[in-house]
Amino acid sequence: MALSSAFEYAPAPESRSVVDIAPSYGLFIDGEFTEAADGKVFKTVSPSTEEVLSEVARAGTADVDRAVQAARKAFTKWSALPGSERAKYLFRIARIIQERSRELAVLETLDNGKPIKETRDTDLPLVAAHFFYYAGWADKLSHAGFGANPRPLGVAGQVIPWNFPLLMLAWKIAPALATGNTVVLKPAETTPLSALFFADICRQAGLPKGVVNILPGYGDAGAALVEHPDVNKVAFTGSTAVGKAIARSVAGTEKKVTLELGGKGANIVFDDAPVDQAVEGIVTGIFFNQGQVCCAGSRLLVQESVQEEVVDALKRRLATLRLGDPLDKNTDIGAINSAEQLARIQKLADTGEAEGAERWSPACELPTSGYWFAPTVFTGVTQAHTVARDEIFGPVLSVLSFRTPDEAVAKANNTQYGLSAGIWTEKGSRILAVANKLRAGVVWANTFNKLDPTSPFGGYKESGYGREGGRHGLEAYLAPSSPEGKR
């Protein structure tokens, strides 16, 4: 169903026929699909319909060990290849992703619930771009600033979330392969399909067996991978609670770790900001991917003198968004990824209302099947409210006001997180002055949620440590050499 709108749109569905989903999938170990050692399986469902899409093998400890052994065996030859040869595989993977982008976009929308226009126009182009970008680095590592002859670490154990399944895979796998490491990756249990399709792309590209291994499974498989003694590098994107557990489990080992965790990003709108442009950025910041974005601008800080104007304009804009079938090209707001996540969003939103914040949503009829939550705005919010402090990870925006730039900075930094922030103003000097005071890994100016493979991404405080993307993203997968090129 659509939110109320001045226009009527005929349905424009993307065809499901472009993707062929098998009734069952195995684990991808040493270049082959195989059953789990204990025979366990689980079902993956479409969040918009609750339809079972496929049955997937569930990895256990024995499977993790088998995959790590395969990656270790493959590492010897893969790391010995010249960078220019590794680059050829990465370029090939990138081109195949482009060729199969429509198929992958439909698959991601079915398995994740996000609108097809997001998977088609944002996720897939960025996935290909990351492989192209790191392919370019593969033969230039000696010039990356990490020593004359930096060496790969070995086996990388990587655990990714469900909000950007294929994009997070690209963020992890592309730099790992470019630097000569081999990979064991565990996708989220609610979105395993695009990673399994990527396994097929690896075979299509002729990637040597064991270089990439994909293990769908639950948290126990992720923990076994992180704790495996023959894993040299751990990369995790997900919740802060799990990130803390990972940090504790690898403490005292020689494993290199990057953690990209939660966020509670501040989107700061000053009184001289172009209101219509800022409203579009606010909408992108919190309602893109149903707000299921770690760097979402979930706290809107508006200068007091323009607060009423900005909030009114925002409400008018939200009334034009369309919520419904994610495969419809007109859809702006898709489904929440799972029943568990929907319950968390509902609980936190109800808490905000119970604590006295004013809750508003546009007129909206939600579909009867699937997991849905209407875009929601809270006003009258203080820094003490739960909705201003906790990461909701849903389409819920909290609006706070400020009077001076110093107050805006103080409120923006008053969080345990430090992943992202946005600044809206016509003054370049104000952008620079405020950005330098914000404790956030990424600060956008007059835009939001713009990501690029050449730019590093990561956070401070409970948003994790380490950087992914750009030249900086190579460092976590390399052992720097001495000036003479010795390790």
Q: Which residues are catalytic?
A: 260, 294
Q: In DSSP terms, which residues pair with 32 in a beta bridge?
A: 29
* CA 148/CA 142 separation, integer angstroms: 5
Q: Comparing C-alpha atoms, which of 162, 265, 181, 266 is closest to residue 231?
A: 181
Q: In DSSP terms, which residues pair with 41 in a beta bridge?
A: 57
How many CA atoms are closer than 13 Å to the CA of 98, on its beta-carbon side? 11
Do 157 and 228 form a contact (C-beta atoms < 8 A)? yes
Q: State phi, psi for 298 to the nearest 5 degrees.
A: -85, -10
Q: Comparing C-alpha atoms, which of 56, 58, 238 is closest to residue 164?
A: 238
Do 303 and 270 form a contact (C-beta atoms < 8 A)? yes
Burial class, 460, CB count within 10 angstroms (exposed 0-12 / middle 13-18 / buried 19+): middle
Do 275 and 309 form a contact (C-beta atoms < 8 A)? yes
CB-based contacts of 284, cutoff 8 Å, min separation 6: 448, 449
